[in-house]
Amino acid sequence: MTTELPVPSEESARSLLPPGSRIFVAGHRGLVGSAVARRLADDGHEVLTRGRDRLDLRDAARTETFLREARPDAVVLAAAKVGGIMANSTYPVQFLEDNLRIQLSVIAAAHAAGTRRLLFLGSSCIYPRLAAQPIREESLLTGELEPTNEAYALAKIAGIVQIQSYRRQYGRSYISAMPTNLYGPGDNFDLETSHVLPALIRRFHEAQRDAVPEVTLWGSGSPRREFLHVDDLAAACVRLLEVYDGDEPINIGCGEDLTIRELAETVAEVTGYRGRVGWDASKPDGTPRKLLDVTRLTSLGFAPRIPLREGIARTYAWWLGQLPPSV
Ligand SMILES: NC(=O)c1ccc[n+]([C@@H]2O[C@H](COP(=O)([O-])OP(=O)(O)OC[C@H]3O[C@@H](n4cnc5c(N)ncnc54)[C@H](OP(=O)(O)O)[C@@H]3O)[C@@H](O)[C@H]2O)c1
C-alpha cells in the first residue's frame, strides 16, 4: 500500500497560505520556533510572537484573548516542554501536563479566534517502540510506547487527536506534523536537558579543549537515529502550511539514519577530538531504531538540503559563537 499523496498545485498553495499572511509562531525562542519564524519572514509573511514572560500558553483565557486581538491567519504551535531521556524520565508530570495544557489552550483559542490554519508539531516518539521501520504514519497507536518518554508521547498523541477532532467537528484546516530528531542553531546545549546531538558536540568540544584522553557516552552506541537540520524542518513546515490539508499527521525527516556510534565519530571529527570514545552499556539506549517513512512529505514536494556533516559543522560554529571567550 502506498502512502503517496496527490501532488498539490501552486494555486492550492496560495489559497491555504496566501502571500503576506499574519502568522503567530508559538515558541519562537525555541529551536523549532526560531527557525520557522526566520523562514516565514524570509518568505514574506508577517510573523507575530509573544514570549513566555508575557504570555504563558498554559493559560487558556489569556491565550484566547491574545489570539482574538492579534487575529493571525495561521498559528504554528512550536511551544512545548521538550527534553532528552534524562529530563523526560525525571519530570514526567511536567512533560505530560505542560504539553497537554499548552495544546488545549492554543488549539482551542485559535478556533475561538477564527484562525484559519494551524500547524501542530508533535514528535516521532509518538510511534510504538517497536514500530516497523521506516515508521509510517499509519503505525500510530498500533503498539506500546517507549517507556522513557511515555508521558510526553501521550500528550503529543492527544494533540493529534485534538487537531483531527477540530477538523471533523468544526471543519478547521488544522494539521499535524511529526518531526524526527532535530538539531541546529538555537539548540539546547545544557547537558542536563539537551538532546543527543548538542550533548555530543559539547562533550567532545570540552574533551578536546581539556585534552581528556577518553569520553564515555551513555548506552551501547548501537541504536539507529535520524537527524534533520532545523532549517530543513522549517522549510517542510512552511510547505505543509501551503499545500497540506488532511487528517493524518505528516512525518518530517530526511529518510536516512545512522548509529549513535557513527554520529559520535562524526561529531568527534568535526570538533577535532582525537581521544578514545567509551560506551557505558549499563545506561538506557531508548528505542533501538527510529527512522521515519517520509513518502507522504516527499510527495508533497519537499526534499531536505543540508547534509548531516555540514549541518553539524554549522551548528558547532554557531554554538562556539555563543560562548564567552574562555569556554
Ligand atoms: N528538538 C527536537 O529534536 C524536536 C524533534 C521533534 C519534534 N520537536 C517538536 O518541536 C516543538 C518545539 O521543540 P523545540 O526543540 O523547538 O523546543 P525548545 O527549543 O525547548 O522550545 C520550546 C519553546 O516553547 C516555549 N514554551 C514552553 N513552555 C511554554 C509556555 N508555558 N508558554 C509559552 N511558551 C512556552 C519555550 O519558551 P522559553 O524560550 O521561554 O523557554 C520555547 O521557546 C515541540 O513540539 C517538539 O515536540 C522537536
Query: Ligand 1: residues within 6 Å at CB?
Result: 27, 29-33, 52, 56-58, 78-82, 102, 121, 123, 179, 181-182, 188, 195
- C-alpha to C-alpha distances, 189 to 40, 200, 323, nearest whole angstrom: 25, 9, 11
Mutate to test the pocket of ligand 1, among 24, 25, 29, 32 (most ligand atoms within 8 A of CB): 32
Ligand 1 atom nearest residue 31's Cα: 16
CA of 139 relative to ligand 1 center, distance in Å: 25
Which pTM was predicted? 0.94
Has 273 been annotated as catalytic?
no
Q: Are 260 and 222 in contact (CB under 8 A)?
A: yes
**Which ranges of the chain would DSSP assign to H, the alpha helix?**
10-16, 31-42, 60-70, 85-90, 92-112, 150-170, 196-209, 230-243, 260-271, 295-299, 308-322
For the chain, what is the largest distance between any 2 Cα atoms, rounded to a whole number of angstroms? Answer: 60
Of the candidates 91, 127, 152, 244, the residue annotated as catalytic is 152
Instruction: Report the nearest-CA residue for atom 33 of ligand 1.
Output: 52
Mutate to test the pocket of ligand 1, among 55, 58, 82 (most ligand atoms within 8 A of CB): 82
Phi/psi-derived region of residue 63, left when phi > 0, alpha when psi is between -120 and 50, beta in every other case? alpha
* Nearest CA-CA partner of 177 in 77, 97, 304: 77
CA of 216 relative to ligand 1 center, distance in Å: 28
CA of 203 relative to ligand 1 center, distance in Å: 23
CA of 77 relative to ligand 1 center, distance in Å: 9
Mutate to test the pocket of ligand 1, among 24, 25, 31 (most ligand atoms within 8 A of CB): 31
Distance between CA atoms of 74 and 23, rounded to whole angstroms? 5
Exposure of 19 by Cβ count < 10 A (0-12 exposed, 13-18 middle, 19+ buried)?
exposed
CA of 106 relative to ligand 1 center, distance in Å: 14
Ligand 1 atom nearest residue 34's Cα: 16
Q: Are 109 and 61 in contact (CB under 8 A)?
A: no
Instruction: Report the nearest-CA residue for atom 39 of ligand 1.
Output: 29
Instruction: Report the nearest-CA residue for atom 7 of ligand 1.
Output: 123
Other CB atoms within a 10 A radius of the CB of residue 53 amount to: 7
Q: Tens-of-pLDDT digits for all 327 residues of the chain? A: 445 676 666 666 668 999 999 999 999 999 999 999 999 999 999 999 999 999 999 999 999 999 999 999 999 999 999 987 788 889 999 999 999 999 999 999 999 999 999 999 999 999 998 999 999 999 999 999 988 889 999 999 999 999 999 999 999 999 999 999 999 999 999 988 888 999 999 999 999 999 999 999 999 999 999 999 999 999 999 999 999 999 999 999 999 999 999 999 999 999 999 999 999 999 888 778 899 999 999 999 999 999 999 999 999 999 999 998 766
Distance of CA 166 to the CA centre of its chain: 22
* Nearest CA-CA partner of 138 in 316, 256, 293: 293
- C-alpha to C-alpha distances, 25 to 46, 120, 262, 272, nearest whole angstrom: 10, 11, 34, 37
What are the phi and psi torsion angles at 303 (to 5°)?
A: -140, 135
Distance between CA atoms of 34 and 111, rounded to whole angstroms? 24
Distance between CA atoms of 109 and 69, rounded to whole angstroms? 11
